[in-house]
Structure 1
Amino acid sequence: MGNFNYSGDKFYLNGEEFTVISGAMHYFRIPREYWRDRLTKLKECGFNTVETYTCWNLHEPVEGQFDFSGMLDLPAYIDIANELGLYCILRPGPYICAEWESGGLPAWLLNYKDMNLRCNDPEFINKVENYYNALLPKITDKLITNGGNIIMMQIENEYGSYGNDHEYMQKIADIYIKHNIDCLLFTSDGACNSMLNGGTLPQYLCVANFGSRPDENFAKLEEFRPNQPRMCGEYWCGWFDHWHDMHHTREPEELAGLFKDMLESGASLNFYMFHGGTNFGFMNGANHYEKFEPTITSYDYNALLSEAGDLTPAYFAVRKVIEEYTGKNLPPLTVKNTEKVAYGTVNLTEYVDVFTAAKQLSEPVKSPVCKFMEDIGQYYGYTLYSSTLFGPSEEHDLNFDAVNDRANIYFDGVRKGYIEKSQHEDNIRIPALEKGQKLQIDILNENMGRVNYGPHIMDRKGIKGVRAGLQYHFGWEIFPLPMDNLSSLNYSKEIDKNVSGFYRATFNIDEQPKDTFINPVGFHKGNIFINGFNLGRYYTDAGPQITLFCPAPMLKSGENEIIVFESDYCDEAIVEFTDTPILDKKHEE
């Protein structure tokens, strides 16, 4: 049995002074086959601790149905860290931010329309407790007090950025205590009075999150809570990217210099991120301040390891600082970058348009009005809304009460334009119809990722209120397209590049597969699936990310299947497998 606690401004591990040098790596963003590699790289950089969130929305994708398998096997991840001599900081939310879909909150919570999130609403507390009843027993034996390696657990997450309900915060802590969580509990918030006051509890350690000006931020923390250790709970070594924006980078020397300053001031800290990984599938989050901005698929974050797990210049700069601080040379590195292979160009010769595919993938929900996806039991992916307008009628503007988030509009199977929340809105006119004429209207809507930070986390997706001018149009078929299983699709050799659809091909790998990157050179917007695994979204027209990381474990020796879902239109049905990522497409001023 062990103990980790603090007295005055020092941490103590089993009675000895201890400086926490931690790096964030989220198990759910990394292929399970690479967990040991990434954790070993953390250890060999000189770190002593790994930090991770837990993701409620993946662990409980359907209310009452829990998943801790594969990439979600949190106990196995913690065990590997322990085998490598790493301690663990666990941050179980329930809200995690993390540029993750809805901040980790399950989208099915939106079905409870009278429930308030992240406060002492009894219904929300009940949902949280049900999740913790499944999660916490899996990690209790891994606490340091039980002989394991978990030294700290966080209560909520940056709560002062959202609210000030201390009864809610205490309820989260009480659930921990009920499950015999007796390691060091803490809160983390931005270093300002309102956030620290709103997000902390007086009996628990509080730490500050920041990416620069450590003296200023630590001074604020000490002013608010004197006589406790200095700790930066998230040292932001980079930043995340949005579509239509730039790729964020930071100079390694500046990053390492601030790290050195913090160590020499006696502080502990957690690098956010040591390794960011990937927002696979539809799990990227979004921000919404003045405008709605979804996060890209890559979570490279300018971290010490790249998205593909490669050692960066920052890795070596930080490693050198640790050697200088400890006065000891670290053992020679045994880790290395994985081999990357350019498998070349693949022509996708099979195709099915989205209108045909919708009938193969789902049963329509019939409704007088267009509904948000949550109201038809769908939480991720795309939704196709179909209806017929009958004449006689005059020409009108096509109007919407809400488009969340991106809608492609088709009249009689011809794409007329698109609307993208906060970014683009084509002026689409419904033509005049004579008596006896009709017009088929199809609207393909994409959930581009739910808001993960701030007051807009109740983020419902889909379209509402379709109007011809001022007149609401009723009578719709709604096809949910979560794209979690595409095996029922039937393809043909006839391709219509101007209509959204699924493109398919097979390709062979003769040797043991290696990591690679996929450049959707002939495509504009959509998702790529390899052997049934959703690698994530591409959006070549927006950038900055162009390529998608395809880890070797998603491939196999022999025949492989690739499916590209293109939501807009296709110039040429080809993709290129390359050995180099492109995360920084330049934007015109």
Structure 2
Amino acid sequence: MPEFTIGEHDFLLDGEPFRVLSGALHYFRVHPELWADRIDKARRMGLNTIETYVPWNAHAPRPDVFDLTGGLDLGRFLRLVADAGMRAIVRPGPYICAEWDNGGLPAWLFRDPAVGVRRAEPRYLAAVKAYLDRVYEVVAPLQAQHGGPVILVQVENEYGAFGDDKTYLKALAEHTRDAGITVPLTTVDQPTDEMLAAGGLEGLHRTASFGSRAVERLATLRRHQPTGPLMCAEFWNGWFDHWGAHHHTTPAADSAAELDALLAAGASVNLYVFHGGTNFGLTSGANDKGVYQPTVTSYDYDAPLDEAGNPTAKYHAFREVIARHHPVPGEPPPAAPPSPAFTVPLGDPARLLDAPGKWGARRRHDALPTLDEVDGAPRLALLTTRVAGPGPAVLCFGEVRDHASVFLDGHPVGALLREHHQRALGLGRATGELAVLVEDHGRVNYGPRLGEPKGLIGGATLDGEPLTGWDVLPVDLSAPPAVWEDGDERAPVGGPVAGPVLLRARFAPDRHADLHLDTSGWGRGVVWVNGFCLGRYWSRGPQRTLYVPGPVLRAGDNDLVVLELGAMTDPTARFAPGPMLGHTEV
């Protein structure tokens, strides 16, 4: 069986030099029926390896669950890589960043505030080792020496940007070896002396992450690693987007020139990313460096393959660069035809505040709970209490994470946003039922705020007096809330509609294809097609379309459900011929 090792100057496959030409392709961001297509397009661009993270929190939404089915079938994904004649790099973290909710760390892990984060704390390490055991049960039999595709496994992820706990890194590396991983182990850090020193460990092969100035940055890496192959394990060929900002792009010619310089220097590479895919469901992360910035649903990343898996100008430019250094097989994929374009009216409004009992069961809490203190740690919850005072009055929370819509006797009063550092609101009157709809817009995935709780933090006061006696209704968004009865008649919406409200429609495209749902005229909310959660939309942009994978659709009628949390000026679902990811000016 093949043996993959690290030589004096090169990676070695059965003793012969092997340059890793890899591209990041996250199985959890692509519909599983499309994995083979995306892998084949990587091969046809000239890549010989596929790299993927493993998101702990997706596989283990609860401590007693580890899901390896459907879109989380890591073993199937790696076998498809092997079927394409390609190699694989696995990066299981436990922390992955990846603009993914909480950087991949499960929120349940931090309900005990004494649990450590990315350090050698016993409770944290015990949970990490149990997680890695489940991952390596899949990965170990698929290593190269057993005839599988896996040639490298990464320990942690850009750890030098977070800490320098060598005991922690050593514990991860030793456990990885004990679990049967024998291929070379790597680390990755940004190429600064401080980060490479803090994030590296003797016996693990150091790699770097950057998107420009390859010769200079490889020289920095070489100072910290005198022998062995040079590798940029994250070649940043694009970037991600935040709600309320612009859509990031990089010129294809510029990115191709940087890739050419990297390959001319003799280094191995992993494109971050070859194909980004989509943050389906509510999986987007966020950044907070003084201002909270949630990540959009699309993970297009201005990558060689766009969000729908179609080759871009960057794909063809990279293919030409790779061909200068290595053979490139076959022909490039053809351009995709436009998607079906049509409209369908939304109807059947079901308002949350009119009949909350249809949306789930309430539970009584004396003190105002965070979302993490509510069963299931929901991403959306309605919290209600009674107030009695003369007004005007000031409603105040310790902190809002991340969005709170306030109602009094069913009428909207105002909203508080985390990114605006808002936590207080004036009430013209202070008598009646006070309702607060709280939204989690994604947990921070980078920096010191990993693992923090969500929701309303630190309780609530009215004119300085604590508010107690809260009824809490968690709203499960893993599937559309079941608010309609089977025999309910369908009724159109005559004009604009205020949220929180569910609307629905049926549609039948004229052919089977990927779709792009245009959310213009909508406010802020979540969309499902045939029960599959496409993700969030928000009028603040830049993203305007939600990607609908073809395998989600059925022949004949398809069900569309929209949860509008703000205000919808045009209750119409428009399907566009292609993606609209927003303006690109700074």
Q: Secondary structure at the match of 2:568?
A: coil
Aligned to 1:21: 21
How far the C-alpha of 1:248 sits from its partner, in A, is 0.6
Give the match for residue 402 of structure 2: 405
Q: Quick check: 1:510–1:557 contact (8 Å CA) kept in 2?
A: no
- Is the 1:417–1:426 Cα contact (8 Å) retained in structure 2? no
Q: Deviations over 1:238-277 (max 9, x none)?
A: 1110011111101111111111111111111100000000
Preserved contact between residue 546 and residue 585 of structure 1 (Cα < 8 Å): no
Residues 340 and 509, structure 2, Cα contact 8 Å, conserved in 1: no
Tell me the CA shift for residue 427 of structure 1.
Answer: 6.5
What per-residue deviation string (whole Å, max 9, x for no partner) do you get for residues 140-159 of structure 1?
11101212110000001111
How many residue pairs match? The answer is 579
Gap regions ≥5 residues in structure 2: none
2:247–2:542 CA contact under 8 A, matched in 1: yes
Q: Which amino acid aligns with 2:409?
A: D
Residue in structure 1 matched with residue 197 of structure 2 by the alignment: 197
The residue aligned with 1:439 is 432
Q: TM-score, normalised by structure 1?
A: 0.95
1:523 partner letter: W
SS at structure 2 position matched to 1:509: coil
Which segments of 5 or more consecutive residues in structure 1 lack a partner in the other structure? none
Aligned to 2:42: 42
Match of residue 144 from structure 1: 144
Q: Work out whether residues 55 and 104 of structure 2, in 8 Å CA contact, stay in contact via their aligned partners in 1.
A: yes
Within the alignment, does 1:396 sit opposite 2:389 as a pair?
Answer: no
2:325 match: 325
Q: Read off the aligned partner of 1:569 and give its amino acid letter.
A: A
What is the distance in 2 between the residues matched to 1:163 and 1:92?
Answer: 18
CA distance 1:217–1:586, change in 2 (3 Å): closer
Residue matched to 2:363: 365
- Contact 2:371–2:379 (CA<8 Å) still a contact in 1? no
Could you say what secondary structure the match of 1:558 adopts?
Answer: coil
Which amino acid is 1:201 matched to?
L
Are the aligned partners of 2:51 and 2:89 in contact in 1 as well (CA < 8 Å)? yes
Q: SS in structure 2 opposite 1:408?
A: strand
**Which position in structure 2 is the counterpart of 1:460?**
453
Paired amino acid for 2:385: S
Shift of 1:342: 2.7
1-structure distance, mates of 2:131, 2:187 = 20
The one-letter code matched in structure 1 to 2:432 is L
Distance 1:427 1:120, change over 3 A: closer
CA gap 1:369/1:553 in 2 versus in 1, 3 angstroms: same
**In structure 1, the residue corresponding to 2:472 is in which secondary structure?**
strand
Q: Retained in 1: the 8 A contact 2:159–2:198?
A: yes
Deviation at 1:509, TM superposition (A): 3.5
- Tell whether the 8 Å contact from 2:382 to 2:437 is kept in structure 1 after alignment: yes
- Map of 1:562 onto structure 2: 560
Hey, what does 2:546 align to over in structure 1? Answer: 548
In the aligned structure 2, how far is the partner of 1:125 from the partner of 1:427?
Answer: 39
Q: CA deviation at 1:459?
A: 2.2
1:167 and 1:549 map into 2 onto residues whose CA distance is 43
8 Å contact kept, 1:186–1:207: yes
- Residues 120-166 of structure 1: CA distance to partner in whole angstroms, max 9, x if unpaired? 11101111122122221112111012121100000011111111111
Q: Secondary structure at the match of 2:361?
A: coil
What is the percentage of aligned positions where both structures have the same residue? 34
Q: Confirm or deny that 1:379 pairs with 2:377.
A: yes
Alignment match, 2:515: 516
Partner of 2:303: 303
Structure 2 match to 1:220: 220
Cα distance between partner residues in 1 of 2:477 and 2:573: 20
Any conservation in 1 of the 2:479–2:528 contact (CA below 8 Å)? no
CA contact (8 A) 2:263 2:325 kept: yes
Secondary structure of the equivalent of 1:139? helix
Query: What's the CA shift for 1:357?
Result: 5.5
Worse overlay, 265-274 or 378-387: 378-387
What is the letter of the counterpart of residue 454 of structure 1?
Answer: G
Which position in structure 2 is the counterpart of 1:484? 478
2:418 aligned residue: 421
Measured in 2, the distance between the counterparts of 1:357 and 1:44 equals 54
Q: Distance in 2 between matches of 1:86 and 1:103?
A: 27
Residue 329 of structure 1, CA deviation:
5.7
Q: Is the 8 A contact 1:340 1:515 kept in 2?
A: no
Over aligned residues, Cα RMSD in angstroms? 1.8
Whether the 8 Å contact between 2:387 and 2:432 is mirrored in structure 1 is yes
Say yes or no: does 1:531 pair with 2:530.
Answer: yes
Match of 2:101 in 1: 101
User: For the residues of structure 2 that align with 1:287 and 1:427, how far apart are their CA atoms?
Assistant: 23
Whether the 8 Å CA contact 1:110–1:374 is kept in 2: the answer is: no
SS at match of 1:173: helix
TM-score normalised by length of structure 2: 0.96
Indicate the residue corresponding to 1:451 in structure 2.
444
The superposition leaves residues 450-501 of structure 1 with CA deviations (integer Å, 9 ceiling, x where unpaired) of 0001000122111132221211211111111131233521277486822311
The answer on 1:135 being equivalent to 2:135 is: yes
Distance (Å, rounded) in 1 between the aligned partners of 2:68 and 2:180 = 21
Deviation at 1:572, TM superposition (A): 2.3
